[in-house]
Amino acid sequence: MITKREMGWDFDNTYVGLPKELYSKTNPNPVSEPELVILNKHLAESLGLNVKGLLEDGIEVFAGNKIPEGAEPIAQAYAGHQFGHFTMLGDGRAVLLGEQITPNGGRFDIQLKGAGRTPFSRGGDGRAAIGPMLREYIISEAMHGLRIPTTRSLAVVTTGEPIYRETVLPGAILTRVASSHIRVGTFQYITGLGKTDELRRLADYTIKRHYPEIKDEEQRYLALLREVVKKQAALIAKWQIVGFIHGVMNTDNMAISGETIDYGPCAFMDTYDPKTVFSSIDTGGRYAYGNQPYIGGWNLARFAESLLPLLHDNEEQALQLAQDEISKYNGIYRVNWLNGMRAKLGLFDQEEEDTRLIEELLEWMEQNKKDYTNTFVALTFDKLDSLANCSTDSLNNWQQKWKERQNRQKKTDGEIKELMLASNPAVIPRNHQVEEALVAAAEEDYSVMGKLLEVLKDPFAHSQDQVEYAKPPEPTNKPYRTFCGT
């Protein structure tokens, strides 16, 4: 048993007070020769953890070999519409140690991903390879730097044991930090069992943990739906604004907290194209970049369906209440997206023609196969000539309209540029650079990843150190593909 004094763990375990159908008490499976690959020291400190203690003895916790004092490990049950098909699921390779209470009273789940078999493993080995775990570390921390709500990565350890997939790979475990791991699929699971009282307990718990401001509302379950709709609309708008493609937007990968969760076959778009798909398993393009806003609404409709027994005793009235809330999603998403895109163009106020102005730029980028991130950086620094073959009549006409639109604001050039600098990242985790880091890591060279993480820490710095990392990949006829990593 690892004591609180040694490492600063301060666990609570409120989730185990929920109905037993929602979890199974499960210890992580110990590993033979764990080694620490990376520790997120800043995150550890914010959680109230002792970095020195973690570096000395924390590896045994991160590997699942020792349970911290106060932890009650569980595997969570949930369901999910996976590529549209409903399945009863659960943590097949993850163990929730408990909820860390931070010095300022915050509450965060501490989960070991790749910690071995659980009752929900469905025949799998419950393990993970080092590549997908480091990918999640890199991308989740990059998302944090981009100011997008996300789960975080505290540590990655290798296990000293082989993982058998298409090839033999080094095993690894990721320690994930989240506001919670309650998902749309968590609600679908308990509703699927037909247990209304248990559903109500889950909903009340979720409100208390994430939306306490609505706990006294007369229709608090309807208010819960309303708040989750707002959170998800804002989150997906942020994804679109930076060109992030989640890759596997199943309902079990939509967190009720409004955080981005599960960085499996995710990636960032280089050349702007709404049809962009990276995931090797998304053969139909269901989760393509341009489809993400619509899938967000579809997933929320499934959440609304799970809440129907709580919304009204009359089924028709419950359905109408749910539909009324879901119908607001598109408008809320659109407002968030438009405001974010306006900021990228240095626009502080709103005009009716802004939508067309934005769409014209995106159409030009798509037609001319321009890099999404670098186009906005070029606009920020008034250096569109830095983009190859960009001098066209359509772009010149667009630029004139854009400048006229900026000039109608009562803002100085300095204020406009400051807004654009804060809204357009200089760097994103480019796919080819992530792959370079993962290839090097497979050979136990973690320096490439370390440099990439340092550059991604403040993507809005626009520093000289970021110039090399802003370069898009060399042209290729071979499409980039990502893999789920399970």
Q: In 3D, which of 149, 123, 95 has the Cα closest to residue 486?
A: 123
216 as an active site residue: the answer is no
Q: Is the pLDDT of residue 60 over 90?
A: yes
Q: Which two structure tokens, joined as six digits, stand for 292? A: 């993400």
Q: pLDDT tens for residues 251-287?
A: 999 999 999 999 989 999 999 999 999 888 888 889 9
pLDDT at residue 247, rounded to an integer: 94
Q: pLDDT tens for residues 366-390?
A: 999 999 999 999 999 998 877 766 6
- Phi, psi (degrees; rounded to nearest 5) at 262: 75, 90
Ranges 173-187, 379-393, 463-477, most confident:
173-187
Over residues 60-80, the mean pLDDT reads: 96
Over residues 331-335, the mean pLDDT reads: 98
Over residues 325-336, the mean pLDDT reads: 98
pLDDT at residue 277, rounded to an integer: 93
Mean pLDDT of the chain: 94
pLDDT at residue 483, rounded to an integer: 66
Sequence-separated contacts (24+) of 416-419 with Cβ below 8 Å: 416/346, 416/348, 417/346, 417/380, 419/343, 419/346, 419/348
Given the residues 10, 125, 252, 371, the one annotated as active site: 252
Over residues 21-48, the mean pLDDT reads: 96
- Positive or negative: CA dihedral 321, 327, 328, 333: positive
Rounded-to-integer distance, Cα 77 and Cα 201, Å: 15
Q: pLDDT tens for residues 86-135?
A: 888 999 999 999 999 999 999 999 999 999 999 999 888 999 999 999 99
432 confidence band (pLDDT: 50, 70, 90): very high
